[in-house]
Amino acid sequence: MSTPPTVKPPPLSNLKVLEFAGLAPGPFAGLLLADAGASVLRIDRPISGPNSPAPPAADLLTRHKSSLPLDLKSPSARPLLLSLIRRADVLIDPFRPGVLEKLGLGPDYILNEVNPGLIYARMTGFRRDGRYRDMAGHDINYLAVSGVLSMLGPSSKKKGGKPSPPINILGDFAGGGAVLFQGILMALLAKQQQNGGDGKGGQVVEANMVDGANYLATFPRFARKTLTGSLPRGENLLDGGCPYYDVYETKDEGRYMAVGALEPQFFGQLMKGLGLEGLGWERKRYDRDTWDELRGVLERKFREKTRKEWEDVFDGTDACCTPVLGYDELENGEKEGREGDQRPVVTLRESPLLAVKKGAKKEDDVVRLGQGEGVEGEGYVGQPLEIGKGGKEVLESWLGWVEGREFRVEGGEVVLLKEEPATKAKL
């Protein structure tokens, strides 16, 4: 697809990112950078054996990325790695604290001796200086010690009403990778503003999922000191306690409608659509003593029609009543006008990000859907990145190196034929 002349390249087109292979948050930060046009090279562990095939790594957050196999513990890999770091703008460290330091690749050495302009971005689960810093953990653990998990789940008054972990969105992705991405952008902006493009001004960006998730919870944390959120979990306005901010099953079992009719005018539209207008609920909506009764009324009412029938009632209204859609519906729902096509995280009208969905050809589509050919799976099927795929091309693009002249592939790993002089800095 040819890009319309009025559309500029993606905003991070000149950015070089070195991403050490990891899981979830680090790769997601790299994905956000790659979708914005950055050249992202993932450093993978090599596959042993000269004739071994290159299986894909477990990571599915790989679109628009390339891979290069390097054994970080091998002395022969170090000169090549340092050459890449010297050319990179951003390095993504997904490891537990101390891993890269033990390999002689910690930020003090890298920023002082190798690349003083590098943005050295580090992602951990727990705080680096906290009580749990030396412990392993997963999304549920980071949410637990951040305080966020205590706010999630049904009311403790209900049977089995314990805190309930969501899918790993809040820790790994929202509080982890997306926060690291923001930190990288802030560091790049600070570098540009403070140093006038002199090649210096690099710094360490440290993100962790405890603080990231906790920051996302700023409003509900504040709300605990107000009438909005001062009650126990599951009994407040926005956590399922309020009957007109909840989910209701419809006549077709397993289908639901989501209700968020908080404001009086929206509540009035909801009552009208449900056939409950003029029965006094508009006047009693703030009386918590009537909430259980109202919830029962709404439960019975929504079971009178199928989800499709309720959609026909509420589509185009201000009742704040919408269907709960599953991804299986969205993936194949474009013909029904569903908002299921996967798009870039944000629309930049002058310099759109790279496309996820295939087939955007008109200029308006390029702006909304992103520029470029799109990717296999169109955002619904993750495509594993084969170890080594695209790595040779990145070596040529970043360093001007050609296979057989500066390097060769030996036993599934890239090996230098001659060391770049600049990599002989003090180790």
Q: Count of CB atoms within 10 A of residue 291's CB?
A: 18
∠ at Cα 5 (3, 11), nearest 5°? Answer: 70
Among 163, 130, 167, 124, smallest CA distance to 144 is for 163
For tokens 């009632």, the residue is 313
Please name the helix (run of DSSP H) or strand (run of DSSP E) that holds residue 32, with its range, or none: helix 25-35
- Say which residues have a Cβ less than 8 Å from residue 105's Cβ, sequence separation at least 6: 72, 81, 85
Q: What angle do CA 296, 302, 304 make, to 5 degrees?
A: 110
The CA distance from 170 to 147, in Å, is: 12
Do the Cβ atoms of 380 and 400 come closer than 8 Å?
no
Contacts of 381 (CB under 8 A, 6+ apart): none
Q: Kindly report the CA angle at 369 between 171 and 317, in degrees rounded to 5?
A: 80
Return contacts of 189-193, CB within 8 angstroms, 24+ apart.
Answer: 191/117, 191/119
CA–CA distance, 295 with 174 (Å, rounded to integer) = 32
Choose the catalytic residue: 44, 93, 172, 341: 172
User: Which residue shows structure tokens 């990288």?
Assistant: 184
Rg (CA), the chain: 26
Which of 103, 12, 90, 20 lies closest to 59 in space, CA to CA?
A: 20
318 is catalytic: no
How many whole angstroms separate alpha carbon 4 and alpha carbon 18?
Answer: 30
Residue 217 half-sphere exposure toward CB, CA atoms < 13 A? 22
Catalytic residue numbers, as ranges: 172
